[in-house]
């Protein structure tokens, strides 16, 4: 599938609206999402069946020329094979006509993308954590989602209904005038629609090509450095020396007492048991729904607060400097994981990335992960060798400056904007400009401990753990499939 590229002056933007389907429409929505999951599982089983068949044939000594052929996993190949199978396969023959073809295409496209990601990860062409082979989706755990790319996809003239293929006209919980006005004026074109069940509600997200003019920021010549934290969500220091603090709302901490009470009520009801096949009672379902509403409210409050923060920052400053934080590593700290996850560091950077690029054309700079923003003196530039986390006040040994630790880090981040815009920075991520600085070797990782060195020596000597041996055996089975493609 070719990647869509918008025309000059247009951007691809999503408009999401909550739905209010009736009982019949909700059953149809669940049926389409279940069809997408079934098609995904069929594709995963169809492709991997040839892998295990070849492995079994090799164990019998069959030559390479006589082995079963590899099955392709491209979207056209999966779609062709599925269309040939759905009429006779007992898993689909009785009910596949009840849903739109887009439901099955959603599952096949997701399976093709999963196999492509696995291939690129094995070949070293994909960043991030190594991905394993695609696995089957559980009916109990899989998220309900379905994407429509063809057919009747529109926002109706009343501003309170949307039309989707095979699902018909569905009322929305909120007005759709933002997208309706643009489509009627000819400044927006709907490309696709995705229905999804999330936080106890059904949502539809329209992907549209929108003509958007860049808005001028309030202070285009001012740069701001943002230091994120737990006790204080953000400390923003601009190039004029002004420092502003944004308190951490702590939505989850505020709701913990209510969550404890709701969870206690759920634990006293008769819940489901997969081992014995016990069904949950009506009282358990009612109590569980009440507990979920608390979680959903916390998530909605967090999302609203982060959007308001990032929108105000992107609309005010001409240059925004943020940190490239290792959020996944920070979450391993069991003492701070809950507060870090509640703050939403990664979500702040994600929102700033697209808002500065598509709405205001603001310069977004990401400081290098090993840049010592907290250890560097914002007055004289001296760098401390050590600065423990519990020390919240920075005291410079050279010039005697005494300043709050977070304020000092924000001032140093704001100073990096001048280095980047004058050409001394080094290009980094595709969405940001990454500034690399190496004062006193501060960009080097912490030295390995004795335990880690012994474990590395053991692995170098050939000692492997049981789960590592299983992964190596599975990788050898799939390696040939990747080399022949």
The gap from C-alpha 177 to its chain's centroid, in whole angstroms, comes to 28
Q: Inform me whether the pLDDT recorded for 71 exceeds 70.
A: yes
Q: Inform me whether the pLDDT recorded for 455 exceeds 80.
A: no
171 and 35 assigned to the same domain = yes
How far apart are alpha carbons 60 and 50 in whole angstroms? 16
355 and 248 assigned to the same domain = yes
Q: What is the mean pLDDT of residues 105-127?
A: 94
Q: What is the pLDDT of residue 399?
A: 87
- 169 is written with which tokens? 């006209």
Which of 156-160, 345-349, 367-371 is predicted least confidently? Answer: 367-371
Answering whether pTM is above 0.95, one says no
Q: What is the pLDDT of residue 429?
A: 41
68 and 29 assigned to the same domain = yes
Give per-residue pLDDT as tens, 202-230.
999 999 999 888 888 999 889 999 999 98
Q: Inform me whether the pLDDT recorded for 469 exceeds 90.
A: no
74 and 180 assigned to the same domain = yes
Q: What is the mean pLDDT of residues 329-358?
A: 91
Confidence category of residue 111, pLDDT binned at 50, 70, 90: very high
Q: What is the pLDDT of residue 239?
A: 87
Range of the structural domain that residue 36 is part of: 1-213
Q: What is the mean pLDDT of residues 146-166?
A: 94
Residues designated as active site: 227, 323, 406
Confidence category of residue 380, pLDDT binned at 50, 70, 90: confident
105 and 237 assigned to the same domain = no
156, 182, 213 - which closes a domain:
213
129 and 265 assigned to the same domain = no
Q: What is the mean pLDDT of residues 176-186?
A: 93
Residues 6+ apart with CB under 8 A from 77: 71
213, 236, 251 - which closes a domain:
213
Give per-residue pLDDT as tens, 239-291.
888 899 999 999 999 999 999 999 999 999 999 998 998 999 999 999 999 99
Q: What is the pLDDT of residue 6?
A: 56
147 and 3 assigned to the same domain = yes
Q: Inform me whether the pLDDT recorded for 382 exceeds 60.
A: yes
Q: What is the pLDDT of residue 185?
A: 92
Higher per-residue pLDDT: 1 or 355? 355
110 and 186 assigned to the same domain = yes
Q: What is the pLDDT of residue 390?
A: 84
Q: Inform me whether the pLDDT recorded for 464 exceeds 50.
A: no
Q: What is the pLDDT of residue 436?
A: 44
Q: What is the pLDDT of residue 1?
A: 44
15 and 112 assigned to the same domain = yes
Q: What is the tally of structural domains in the chain? A: 3
328 and 346 assigned to the same domain = yes
Q: Inform me whether the pLDDT recorded for 179 exceeds 50.
A: yes
Confidence category of residue 417, pLDDT binned at 50, 70, 90: confident
Alpha-carbon distance values, 200 to 144, 215, 402 (Å): 11, 35, 50
Which of 261-265, 407-411, 463-467 is predicted least confidently? Answer: 463-467
Q: What is the pLDDT of residue 169?
A: 95
Mean pLDDT over each residue of the chain, to the nearest integer: 85
Give per-residue pLDDT as tens, 34-70.
999 999 999 999 999 999 998 898 888 888 888 888 8
Q: What is the mean pLDDT of residues 105-112?
A: 96
Q: What is the mean pLDDT of residues 421-426?
A: 45
Q: What is the mean pLDDT of residues 434-449?
A: 43
164, 182, 213 - which closes a domain:
213
269 and 184 assigned to the same domain = no
Q: What is the pLDDT of residue 379?
A: 86
196 and 300 assigned to the same domain = no
């Amino acid at each position: 599938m070719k990647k869509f590229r918008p025309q000059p002056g247009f951007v691809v933007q999503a408009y999401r609206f909550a739905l209010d389907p009736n009982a019949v429409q909700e059953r149809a929505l669940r049926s389409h999402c279940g069809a997408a999951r079934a098609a995904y599982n069929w594709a995963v089983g169809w492709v991997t069946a040839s892998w295990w068949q070849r492995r079994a044939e090799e164990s019998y000594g069959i030559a390479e020329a006589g082995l079963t052929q590899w099955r392709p996993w491209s979207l056209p190949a999966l779609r062709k094979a599925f269309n040939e199978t759905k009429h006779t396969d007992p898993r689909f023959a009785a009910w596949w006509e009840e849903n739109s073809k887009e439901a099955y295409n959603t599952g096949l496209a997701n399976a093709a993308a999963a196999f492509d990601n696995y291939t690129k990860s094995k070949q070293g062409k994909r960043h991030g954590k190594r991905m394993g082979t695609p696995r089957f989706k559980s009916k109990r755990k899989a998220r309900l989602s379905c994407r429509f790319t063809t057919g009747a996809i529109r926002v109706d003239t009343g501003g309170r209904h949307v039309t989707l293929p095979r699902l018909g006209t569905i009322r929305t919980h909120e007005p759709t005038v933002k997208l309706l006005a643009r489509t009627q004026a000819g400044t927006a074109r709907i490309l696709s629609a995705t229905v999804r069940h999330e936080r106890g509600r059904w949502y539809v997200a329209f992907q549209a090509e929108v003509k958007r003019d860049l808005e001028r920021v309030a202070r285009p010549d001012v740069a701001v450095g943002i230091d994120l934290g737990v006790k204080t969500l953000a400390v923003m220091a601009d190039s004029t020396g002004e420092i502003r603090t944004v308190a951490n709302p702590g939505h989850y901490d505020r709701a913990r007492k209510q969550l404890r009470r709701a969870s206690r009520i759920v634990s006293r009801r008769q819940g489901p048991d997969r081992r014995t096949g016990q069904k949950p009672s009506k009282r358990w379902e009612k109590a569980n729904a009440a507990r979920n509403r608390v979680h959903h409210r916390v998530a909605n409050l967090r999302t609203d607060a982060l959007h308001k923060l990032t929108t105000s920052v992107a609309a005010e400053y001409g240059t925004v400097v943020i940190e490239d934080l290792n959020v996944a590593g920070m979450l391993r700290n069991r003492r701070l994981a809950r507060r870090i996850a509640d703050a939403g560091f990664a979500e702040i950077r994600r929102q700033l990335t697209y808002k500065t690029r598509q709405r205001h054309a603001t310069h977004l700079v990401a400081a290098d992960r090993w840049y010592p923003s907290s250890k560097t003196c914002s007055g004289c530039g001296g760098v401390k060798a050590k600065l423990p986390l519990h020390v919240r006040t920075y005291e410079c040994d050279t010039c005697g400056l005494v300043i709050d630790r977070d304020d000092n880090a924000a001032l140093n981040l704001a100073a990096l904007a001048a280095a980047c815009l004058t050409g001394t920075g080094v290009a980094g991520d595709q969405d940001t400009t990454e500034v690399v600085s190496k004062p006193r070797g501060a960009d080097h990782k912490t030295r390995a401990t004795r335990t880690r060195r012994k474990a590395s020596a053991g692995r170098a000597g050939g000692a492997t753990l049981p789960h590592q041996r299983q992964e190596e055996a599975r990788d050898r089975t799939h390696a040939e499939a990747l080399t022949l493609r």
